[in-house]
Amino acid sequence: MKKQITKKNKILQLGITGGIGAGKSTVCKIFETLGIAVYDADTRAKLVMTTDKILKQELKKAFGEEVYLSENEINRDFLVKTVFSNQDNNEKVKLLNSIVHPAVGRDYQNWYNENAAKSPYLLKEAALMFESDSYKVLDAIIVVHAPLEERIKRVLQRDSHRTEEQIKAIISKQLPESEKLKRADFVIYNDASHSLIKQVLELHEGVVERM
């Protein structure tokens, strides 16, 4: 473990983040096999965006009716092209985040209330953990790191609707990798040189020992 954790919360809450394609979800699945409850902020955000009536109204007001294909389906292609494709248009990204992040924060609190007693500690997974400032209320942050070329390759294989240019545009809106690593309390390397399972087990055992 890189450092001692200074607990801010009664129930230990760790954040896990990394750039698109870094492999956060894969790392979280390993934690889940160890009995750790994981809140997937990106997946929950998609759910909230189709179920929270107030949020839906705010998104339509900000980006137009086209933001939804139907009552319960986000127009993801429209959002990507409108918000992320223009590398110089950071204001639209900030606007989207300012609408979605508070709603996800409320959803996380509800999830926390349901899971706090079921897991030795909790994990919150989010791509924009530093950008949204949600890291400030967590006890420590894990950054999943992978080489840029490998990340782009993974996303192209995973998301057939995205182009390499769109992926690079999304990356350009995220905090630079060097800054993420600088802010990290722990780093998990998802490349050909390190075992993911070994790294997660060592981190998990270290966390439990210090609780």
Q: pLDDT of 55-65, one tens digit each?
A: 999 999 999 99
- In-domain check, residue 3: no
- What mean pLDDT value characterizes the chain? 90
- In-domain check, residue 90: yes
- In-domain check, residue 47: yes
**pTM summary value:** 0.83
pLDDT score of 171 more than 80: yes
Q: pLDDT of 96-136, one tens digit each?
A: 989 998 898 889 999 999 999 999 999 999 988 998 888 99
Q: What is the mean pLDDT of residues 83-104?
A: 80
Task: Give the count of domains, the chain.
Answer: 1
Please give the Cα distance from 73 to 60 (Å, whole number). Answer: 13
Looking at residue 166, which CATH number applies to its domain?
3.40.50.300
Q: Which of 4-8, 98-102, 118-122, 156-160 has the lowest mean pLDDT?
A: 4-8
Q: Is 168 exposed, middle or buried (0-12, 13-18, 19+ CB in 10 A)?
A: middle
- In-domain check, residue 6: no
Domain that holds residue 144: 13-209
Compute the Cα dihedral for 171, 174, 176, 182 and give only its sign.
Answer: negative
- In-domain check, residue 1: no
Give the pLDDT of residue 1. 47
